[in-house]
């Protein structure tokens, strides 16, 4: 067997691919589910924190900045491990899925808060003044005037960060979540052949290329007419 | 009727003032920007505030709807104490329209959306009624055919007229203009001044901070000259521009007239 044949047999073994494809497909759907959960809760929490921060209550803002800096500083894998392996010692055990969801949501929350907050502070003060001078309340101004502009401004960094953190779902494989990477690694262990990893990589491409394109589309869709 | 002719209700002091500011002081950190300013504006009166930059005229105007919080003093609008904590400021602000130097239109909304927003969210009108009123307000500034345009698609003068429509749609009792033409190219100033002239003919009470001295001469009932955080001198335009009593007023008028 030549080296080339050995390479093909290792990474593109049709028999192994066929055998483990169903598990990778299951992992694919699980990754999508996990990613959607993370995006929904992470962005919602980030938006909530940014809105809370705009109220300008100093002790609350200290708390928000502390939380945000903490979850931006910690490696996501450390948070996952802490929640999954550490919490049971405190009498509370999370499934691998829940631990991954919660951890990556907290990380996305932290980054999303910073990005949205940047957008809020970048919105000209005159927008606030004009809206308030017509009698709109603080929250009405935030919701109808400032946030629509702030969010449009930050769509590019927000999509980038969302994609980067969503790819962190692969970290779930460490805590026995059989998402794409977990399923692929299990396949490798059972078949003694790395072909399932090739399938996994393909699955990530199939999943994330459309997400990247969607991000680009959102950026153009929400640019306002000039 | 000449715009300069005094009209009923325009004589200061006789009618109950719509806006009354008393002993306004404003500090920005160590800066003492307003040093005890009194200003009463009667119904249908057009008061024009002039003065060198840094004299506190914009700050005074912004105190009149509490965009700026006076450090001390009192501001009442139609008898409502704006500085009282119990006052519903958002309700009171609908009586006080404001137009800004930089227009401050909402870029993500059409002209119609800009004008209709407060009608819907503050006054609680339904979409149809709010839009009908918004269209009527746009017609008053001669922009009914631009209702569907976004601010970025309008010229500066058109944007400023939409901003005026946004304010008058709420049917305010007084309009505050903060250098409304200073950010405009010279050829666009006329359209905005024309709209202001028409508002005045309709009897709108107005307080204008501006350097448009020609407009002040022609349209103002009273010109207030401010310098260094105080009102130095005030009176009818003919008096302030023609025969100022104070040396500082003379110097300022002389400087701007030379341009």
A123 vs B: CB within 8 A: no
Nearest CA-CA partner of B22 in B71, B68, B76, B69: B76
* Token reading at A226: 């000039």
Whole-number pLDDT of residue A225: 55
Average pLDDT over every residue of B225-250: 94
Q: Which of B117, B146, B152 to mutate to test the interface with A (most CBs of A within 10 A)?
A: B117
Whole-number pLDDT of residue B255: 87
Nearest CA-CA partner of A17 in A203, A187, A186, A201: A187
Whole-number pLDDT of residue B4: 46
Rounded to 5 degrees, φ, ψ at B223 are: -115, 130
Interchain contact, B100 vs A152, CB within 8 Å: no
Per-domain boundaries in chain B = 19-257
Which of B 55-74 lie inside 8 A of A, CB atoms?
A: 65, 67
CA distances from B92 to B96, B123, B180 (A): 7, 12, 22
B167 vs A: CB within 8 A: yes
Whole-number pLDDT of residue B23: 96
Alpha-carbon gap, residue B203 to B173, rounded angstroms? 10
B156 vs A: CB within 8 A: no
Residues in chain A: 226
Residue the block writes with tokens 């839009």: B131
What are B69-114's pLDDT values in tens digits?
A: 999 999 999 989 999 989 999 999 999 999 999 999 999 999 999 9
Chain B nearest CA to A226, separation (Å): 4
All domains of chain A in start order, with CATH: 15-221 (1.10.3720.10)
Average pLDDT over every residue of A12-31: 92
For residue B101, give the 3-state DSSP assignment.
coil
Interchain contact, A134 vs B94, CB within 8 Å: yes
Whole-number pLDDT of residue B8: 45
Residue B129 has pLDDT above 70, yes or no: yes
> Which chain B residue is nearest to residue A125, measuring alpha carbons?
B104
User: Exposed, middle or buried by CB within 10 Å (0-12, 13-18, 19+), for A63?
Assistant: middle
Could you tell me which residues come within 8 angstroms of residue B152 by beta carbon, excluding any fewer than 6 positions away? A224, A225, A226, B107
Interchain contact, A134 vs B96, CB within 8 Å: no
Cα distance between the two ends of chain A: 64
A137 vs B: CB within 8 A: yes
Whole-number pLDDT of residue B256: 83
Give percent of chain A above pLDDT 70: 98
* Token reading at B92: 């009171």
Whole-number pLDDT of residue A215: 80
Residue the block writes with tokens 């629509």: A148
Interchain contact, B104 vs A124, CB within 8 Å: yes
A121 vs B: CB within 8 A: no
Choose the closest CB to B122 out of A124, A135, A224.
Answer: A135
Residues in chain B: 259
The chain-wide mean pLDDT, for chain B, equals 91
* Token reading at B70: 């006076």
Rounded to 5 degrees, φ, ψ at B38 are: -115, 135
pLDDT band at B230 (very low <50, low <70, confident <90, very high): very high
Alpha-carbon gap, residue B226 to B56, rounded angstroms? 7
pLDDT band at B5 (very low <50, low <70, confident <90, very high): very low
Nearest CA-CA partner of A161 in A203, A116, A102: A116
- ipTM given for this complex: 0.90
User: How many residue pairs from chains A and B have C-beta atoms closer than 8 A?
Assistant: 74
- Classify strands B46-50 and B222-227 as parallel, antiparallel or unpaired: parallel
Interchain contact, B118 vs A135, CB within 8 Å: yes
Residue A145 has pLDDT above 90, yes or no: yes
The segment with the largest mean pLDDT, out of A161-170, A205-214, B146-155, is B146-155
What are A82-125's pLDDT values in tens digits?
A: 999 998 888 888 999 999 999 999 999 999 999 999 999 999 99
Pick the CATH number of B19-257 from 3.40.50.300, 1.25.40.10, 1.10.490.10, 3.40.920.10: 3.40.50.300
Which of B 93-152 lie inside 8 A of A, CB atoms?
A: 93-94, 96-98, 100, 102, 104-108, 117-118, 121-123, 150, 152
Which of A 23-62 lie inside 8 A of B, CB atoms?
A: none
> In this structure, are residues A203 and A26 in contact, taking their beta carbons and an 8 Å threshold?
no
Whole-number pLDDT of residue A221: 78
> In this structure, are residues B131 and B150 in contact, taking their beta carbons and an 8 Å threshold?
no
**Residues in B touching A135 (Cβ below 8 Å):** 90-91, 93-94, 118, 122-123, 170
Q: What is the pTM of this model?
A: 0.87
Alpha-carbon gap, residue A186 to A197, rounded angstroms? 10
Whole-number pLDDT of residue B11: 46
**Residue with the larger pLDDT of the pair A54 and A212:** A54
Residue B172 has pLDDT above 80, yes or no: yes
Alpha-carbon gap, residue B39 to B154, rounded angstroms? 36
Residue the block writes with tokens 């994330």: A208
Rounded to 5 degrees, φ, ψ at B222 are: -145, 140
Rounded to 5 degrees, φ, ψ at B171 are: 55, 60
> In this structure, are residues B162 and B152 in contact, taking their beta carbons and an 8 Å threshold?
no
Rounded to 5 degrees, φ, ψ at A195 are: -55, -40
Residue B134 has pLDDT above 50, yes or no: yes
Cβ-based neighbour number of residue A136 at 10 Å: 23
Could you tell me which residues come within 8 angstroms of residue B33 by beta carbon, excluding any fewer than 6 positions away? B26, B27, B56, B59, B229
**Residue with the larger pLDDT of the pair A185 and B8:** A185
Choose the closest CB to A149 out of B67, B107, B153.
Answer: B107
Nearest CA-CA partner of B101 in A122, A126, A226: A126
Interchain contact, A129 vs B104, CB within 8 Å: yes
């Amino acid at each position: 067997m030549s080296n080339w044949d050995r390479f093909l047999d290792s990474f593109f073994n049709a028999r192994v691919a066929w055998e483990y494809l169903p598990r990778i497909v299951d992992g694919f759907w699980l990754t999508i589910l996990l990613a959607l959960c993370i995006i929904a809760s992470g962005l919602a929490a980030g938006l909530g924190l940014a809105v809370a921060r705009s109220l300008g209550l100093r002790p609350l803002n200290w708390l928000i900045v502390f939380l945000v800096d903490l979850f931006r500083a910690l490696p996501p894998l450390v948070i996952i491990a802490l929640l999954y392996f550490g919490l049971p010692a405190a009498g509370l055990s999370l499934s691998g899925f829940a631990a991954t969801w919660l951890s990556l949501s907290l990380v996305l929350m932290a980054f999303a808060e910073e990005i949205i907050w940047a957008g809020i502070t970048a919105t000209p003060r005159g927008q606030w003044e004009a809206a308030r001078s017509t009698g709109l309340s603080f929250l009405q101004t935030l919701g109808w005037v400032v946030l629509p502009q702030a969010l449009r401004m930050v769509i590019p960094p927000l999509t980038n960060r969302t994609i980067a953190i969503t790819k962190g779902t692969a970290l779930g494989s460490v805590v026995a979540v059989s998402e794409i990477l977990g399923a692929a690694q299990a396949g490798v262990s059972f078949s003694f052949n790395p072909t399932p990893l090739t399938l996994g990589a393909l699955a990530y491409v199939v999943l994330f290329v459309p997400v990247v394109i969607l991000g680009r589309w959102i950026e153009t869709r929400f640019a306002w007419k000039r | 009727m000449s715009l300069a002719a005094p009209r009923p209700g325009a004589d200061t002091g006789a009618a109950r003032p719509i806006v009354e500011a008393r002993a306004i002081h404003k500090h920005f950190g160590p800066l003492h920007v307003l040093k005890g300013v009194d200003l009463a504006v009667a119904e249908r009166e057009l008061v024009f505030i002039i003065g060198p930059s840094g004299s506190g005229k914009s700050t005074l105007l912004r105190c009149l709807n509490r965009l700026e919080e006076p450090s001390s003093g009192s501001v009442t609008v139609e008898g409502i104490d704006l500085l009282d904590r119990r006052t519903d400021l958002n309700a009171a602000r609908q009586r006080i329209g404001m137009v800004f130097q930089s227009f401050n239109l909402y870029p993500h909304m059409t002209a119609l959306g800009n004008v209709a927003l407060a009608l819907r969210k503050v006054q609680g009108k339904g979409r149809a009624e709010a839009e009908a009123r918004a269209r009527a307000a746009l017609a008053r500034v001669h922009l009914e055919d631009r209702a569907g345009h976004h601010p970025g698609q309008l010229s500066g003068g058109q944007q400023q007229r939409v901003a005026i429509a946004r304010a008058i749609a709420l049917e305010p009792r007084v309009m505050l203009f903060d250098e409304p033409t200073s950010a405009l190219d010279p050829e666009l100033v006329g359209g905005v001044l024309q709209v202001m002239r028409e508002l005045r003919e309709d009897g709108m009470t107005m307080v204008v901070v501006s350097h448009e001295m020609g407009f002040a001469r022609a349209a103002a009932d009273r010109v207030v000259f401010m310098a260094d955080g105080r009102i130095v001198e005030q009176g009818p335009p003919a008096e302030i521009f023609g025969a100022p009593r104070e040396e500082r007023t003379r110097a300022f008028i002389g400087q701007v007239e030379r341009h």
